[in-house]
Amino acid sequence: MGTEIERKFLLRTFDYPKNNGVAYRQGYLPTEKGTTVRIRTCGGVGFITIKGATVGLSRKEYEYPIPLADANEMLSSLCVGHIVEKVRYRVRQDGAIWEVDEFQGENKGLVVAEVELSSADQRVILPDWVGEDVSSDPRYTNLALSQTPYRYWNK
């Protein structure tokens, strides 16, 4: 069993070190009781991910590779809401691996940085380009962005 513990931030500046980004497409299957089932493609591979309800900064997470053709078919025929499209950049800084997501499509204009933690109380050194902590704001979850994309927010 896996557990995901992460913090999520908006960017203060876009001066983060860019490397080769990977394009992601993901959608969500209907669920109940705070669970999430995500279908994702990235780097020519498909994945299905099942996540439990979030408690604090953590939640149970199970992820498995699936055939790319199956993932694409599920994205086009089974997922509800909008497909979330983004380019992800992995940035190593001060002993942490940051995932910076530049959203495309319906969420274009939104850029979010996430860092996974080994414990909820782990200390994180914030790079200069990291800004406001939005870990507790449910609007910034990818599931929420599939339901109410960033372009429809009253900013």
Q: Which residues are part of the catalytic machinery?
A: 28
Nearest to 40 by CA among 32, 28, 52: 28
Q: Please return the burial class of 47, using the count of CB atoms within 10 Å of its CB with bins 0-12, 13-18 and 19+.
A: middle
Structure tokens at 76: 């086009």
Coarse DSSP helix, strand, coil percentages of the chain, rounded to the nearest 5 percent: 15, 50, 35
Annotate 74-109 with b (16+ C-beta within 10 A) or e (fewer).
bbeeebebbbbbbbebebebeeeebbbbbbbebbee
Question: 10 Å Cβ neighbour count for 24?
Answer: 19
